Structure 1
Amino acid sequence: MSPASLILTLVTLQRLGELVLSRHNTSRLLARGAVEVGAGHYPLIVSVHAGWLIALWIWGRGQDVNLAAIAAYLALQGMRVWVLASLGPRWTTRIIVLPGEPLTLSGPYRYFSHPNYAVVVAEIALLPLALHLPALAVIFTLLNLAVLAIRVRAETRALRMLGGPRTSAP
């Protein structure tokens, strides 16, 4: 197995694991009375992410690996873990809001509103660059930014609409 194929296998497994975690957390939140907001754009997000992985597998699996870019990508995984730990059972890939629940302001959320999206934007650009695929980095960064523009507006509206109290604990 080439180093690029190993990296893509690990990233694919990570993404599949996150989908399992998201589904679990979503079910538990909905059972507690949470509601999903902005579900209409969710297939677009799935399409962009699936397309990104498929394109990386098609054009990247035999590529040499740029060590600086893959090191930066690996460093982002620390930020990803920080986001997941900060949100705990509230982390999902969907916009799920629990009325009356305070907003999370701990971890990276102390510093900016959407740290998970910042990680994803960087990942979508860096992994293709790590595999010497700059065109894929540009194409999927632009597609991701377009979908995130829709998502962040929907999420911001949902959080404002519910107006939960702010807290420093998840």
Structure 2
Amino acid sequence: MYYLLILAVGVERLVELALSKRNARLAFADGGKEFGRRHYPVMVVIHTALLVGCVVEVWALHRPFVPWLGWPMLVIAVLAQVLRWWCIATLGKRWNTLVIVVPDAPLVQRGPYRWLHHPNYVAVVAEGIALPLVHTAWLTALCFTVANALLLTVRIRVENVALGYAVSTRR
């Protein structure tokens, strides 16, 4: 069942990428400007490695399902997906895996963005810990968490610069 869960998350990521590609086309057609493209391939590798690591660690190291850990982690992983899709729904056609700013577009301040500047990253962090731990793949959880923390220091800096640009274009 765990492998089906990882497969489902992988399919969900492909759906996200297709949606992101469509939204990027729309943003560029509206004069969107992209920021921070250099870190994007690293992000793709880290997120792909999370899913691969979940499968390989459980299979190769015979990680057991431990109910007292696995069930709560499954709940957290599902809640992370709910938060991710709330972010996607809130941003609508402005949601993207790239960092693209459309001039004169207002900042989104509804949905989870009422409380957090980067709620999607809360979902990513929670999922990166919880998804591997559903089946005690603690090495994958640890490696992803460290790599993702390093990536997010770059990504959030890029997004904050982009948000500053967005604010300056509205003045």
Per the normalisation by structure 2, the TM-score is 0.90
Counterpart residue number, 1:8: 6
- 1 CA distance for matches of 2:146 and 2:120? 17
Task: Give the conservation status (yes or no) of the 8 Å contact 1:83–1:108.
Answer: yes
Counterpart residue number, 1:64: 65
Counterpart residue number, 1:50: 48
State the SS of the aligned residue for 2:144: helix
The counterpart of 1:136, out of the listed 133, 140, 144, is 140
Deviations 1:99-145 (A, max 9, x none): 11111000000001000011101101110111101121111001001
Cα deviation, residue 81, structure 1: 1.7
**Structural RMSD (CA):** 1.4
Task: Give the conservation status (yes or no) of the 8 Å contact 1:37–1:158.
Answer: yes
- 1 CA distance for matches of 2:165 and 2:75? 40
More off after superposition, 78-87 vs 103-112: 78-87
State the SS of the aligned residue for 1:96: strand
Task: Give the conservation status (yes or no) of the 8 Å contact 1:4–1:60.
Answer: no
- In structure 2, stretches of 5+ residues that fail to align are none
Counterpart residue number, 1:149: 153
The counterpart of 2:92, out of the listed 83, 88, 96, is 88
Amino acid aligned to 2:19: L
Amino acid aligned to 2:54: L
Identity %: 36
Task: Give the conservation status (yes or no) of the 8 Å contact 1:41–1:150.
Answer: yes
- Count of paired positions: 163
Cα deviation, residue 64, structure 1: 2.5
Cα deviation, residue 17, structure 1: 0.7
Cα deviation, residue 161, structure 1: 2.2
Cα deviation, residue 67, structure 1: 1.3
Per the normalisation by structure 1, the TM-score is 0.91
State the SS of the aligned residue for 1:50: helix
Deviations 1:69-101 (A, max 9, x none): 101211222211211111000000010100111
- 2 CA distance for matches of 1:54 and 1:43? 16
More off after superposition, 59-68 vs 145-154: 59-68
Task: Give the conservation status (yes or no) of the 8 Å contact 2:76–2:126.
Answer: no
- 2 CA distance for matches of 1:69 and 1:51? 19
Task: Give the conservation status (yes or no) of the 8 Å contact 2:57–2:140.
Answer: no
Amino acid aligned to 1:77: Q
- In structure 1, stretches of 5+ residues that fail to align are 166-170
Cα deviation, residue 51, structure 1: 1.2
